[in-house]
Chain A
Amino acid sequence: MAAEDLPSEFDVVILGTGLAESVVAAACSRVGQRVLHVDRRSYYAANWASFTFNALLTWIQEIQAESLSEEVQDRSSLVEEGEELIYLSGSDSASISNLQVFCYVSEEAEEEEEPANTTEEEEAGAAGEGAAKEPSETESAGSKEEEAGEAAEGDEQAAQEQGEEPKADQPQPSAPPSQSEPTRKKISYTQLVKEGRRFNIDLVSKLMYSRGSLVDLLIKSNVSRYAEFKNVTRILTYRHGSVEQVPCSRADVFASRQLSVVEKRKLMRFLTSCVEETEEHQAYNGRPYLEFLREQQLGDNLQHFLLHSIAMVTEDTLTKVGLASTRHFLRCLGRYGNTPFLFPVYGLGEIPQCFCRMSAVFGGIYCLRHSVSCLIVDKDSNRCKAVIDSRGQRISCSHFVVEDGFVGADRKVATPTRLLSRAVLITDASVLPGDSEQQVSLVTVPPTDGRPAVNMVELSPSTMTCIPGTYLVHLTCQSVGSAYEDLSPVVTRMFCMAECQDEENRPAVLWCLYFNMADGSGVEPEGHDLPSNVYVCSGPDGALGHEHAIKQAESIFLKILPEEEFCPPAPNPEDIIYDGENTSPTSIGEEEEEEGLTAAGGEGEEKQQEQQEEETSLQPEE
């Protein structure tokens, strides 16, 4: 907590705590590099962060206030002969745009038992209280943009008239038979704020393929010890105005009630035939996957499932790509559950922090609210030899890794800026109520009327991302227009916004947020107008999985340390066991000891087995 000076020499300095940067930090610390990892923000994980409800309100406020970047300070006095400066950009506010907030629940506290006292999150406290206490003066205007604060009020550009008038009362559709409580509970805005700390709302929405590169890396590096996961339990699709379950595992196919016996047989045969590439497949390689599917005489149902929910591609995707994607899906099935996907408990924002923790455990130094203002470049070699931090300290380093947003536009290779459209909804019921209230679902919404395909992830409270009685719904697509333009049609079709006596029994949206985020998939680590030992990490991309960031991190690591292993397993602290009575250690003690931990003592193994009984333990392939 003390404001000490940082050491003045590191091997690798990293600015930005997004996923790729954090993986690079962990990988470098792990093999003994001295790492300084800083972020200008007050929170970890950059645009990969997850927030409590209150912290999200603060984040929204900050974006809307468009915090001006600090004045560029002249640092030329710190430059020595033969050196020149490259100034970095002070803020990355450009990565988020078109932010809009709508609230459809009463902002008045029904039972004012105690003042909206939010000691929870210091930063968030202010926003939370402001919002909660602000009376909803006018029902329409007051309930959008309610996220409070002077900033929001002054900022009219975001406000957009909605058809419905948000009202206090909640719709009370009849509950599914299995629900224990006969009616849904009303949840007020005050309650959302009061229990705000129990939300973990991600800025990005992704899932982890159970055999994807992120899961493999978590297992291989032992960073997995810092997190737990939930299976995505269902894959759903939106079709003909309703939500249907996509049968994807063998068990699903047999249990499916929507499929005829003939369809079941066809689907099984098709999926089996996909696993190995055949000559027939090759013949279609250059033609659209849809054509290939049509040729298989599968029928509309199956074709829809296979194209949109299993391959998750569009109608013009080539067969080669469609089949590869289908195979990946099938390979990931059944490793941990009935779908190919996992989701981290407490949200995706945990993942970069897990890598940061690993880096810290191996000596990485962490500072938030701390930035790098410029680089010192050696003119002769065109290498970055030091950085100057936001306090004006000169810190020498051999490599510098930086989040895309901090690199000035003039230094970057001009790439067309693509955007992602995002929506985050807090709803009061599942889009497809089932036997369990704790389903985690991926919903694929095929493209319609020139609007792109939308991936929707519905999280139940079991993921520790929302409070009981609510669901957290994330929507993502490649943007065509603003996030609101792209996604609100889907939201309007699938949810009801206010007090609607909804005959279709759709879930009600309590609160929602739309925004656009820059799509990181176009940014390359190298090739910019930057010194050769400076590497750029892109922000989140629009794909469902994490392959982009993980591949990028690995390639940056291999450029920095071509001879070293990428994220070898860290020793397991549980292997260092000292029994209460028996003072002799069972194994290892030396810090250098890294390998050979497989020879853990008997107690360690016992422990493993016990764990197995409680939890589905997972196994890597050997």
Chain B
Amino acid sequence: MNDSGLVLDARKITKAYGDHVVLNEVSLQVSTGEVVCIIGPSGAGKSTFLRTLNHLEKPDSGEVWVDGEPMGFRLRDGKLYELSERKVSAQRAKTAMVFQHFNLFPHLTVLDNVMEGPVRVQRRPAATVRAEALEVLARVGLSEKARAYPGQLSGGQRQRVAIARAVAMKPLFLLFDEPTSALDPELVGEVLTVMSDLAAQGMTMLVVTHEIQFAREVADRVVFMADAGIVEQGPVEQVLVAPQEARTRQFLKRVLE
């Protein structure tokens, strides 16, 4: 951990696809233990921003500092030298992500999905990892599914496995990209419960979500994004209860009705 207490420092992230600017100099700082919910209308650039944080999406300009290290680069003599994809992979291993469509590995059992990163990437001993993985699966309530394949699980169960897979990496922070958007309504609750538990246990989390109620209950800070930038951010009472910006009020009014 670096001195500032910041685990993540995104500076002026810009990304465009052709003429279409998706992110316009977006900056965000996250401290250890913080739970940050990113809300906003679709097309605001929320998911793209989240994906630049672990360089699944390379920003056109701007810097992402993870634990005092520039993501995708090496700092030398005051310059940033771009790293090969292999080296970037090692940086990514300090983070973890949960996807909208789960993206579990269908050819591996639930247990092997969870063990894949710690064993193959972090090269930790399989026996230790197995014990940890079973423990993490117990935390998401899926101990009895360890030997099942993802194809045999419901959507909610799959997403809980995906969360277990991310947690098993012991990441500095967890990125959630609309984790409940692809779920049937009755399955949303079980996933949000697991996420609330993680937040309560002090996990640093960035959550792109449409679940305003979840943000209200769990977030330390809410970030409202629209039109490729951050419009407003602050504690729940400010952004969700008494938003300062008209754009935020407009959005919340539409969503909550």
**A and B: real partners?**
no
Interface residues of A (CB under 8 A from B): none
Interface residues of B (CB under 8 A from A): none
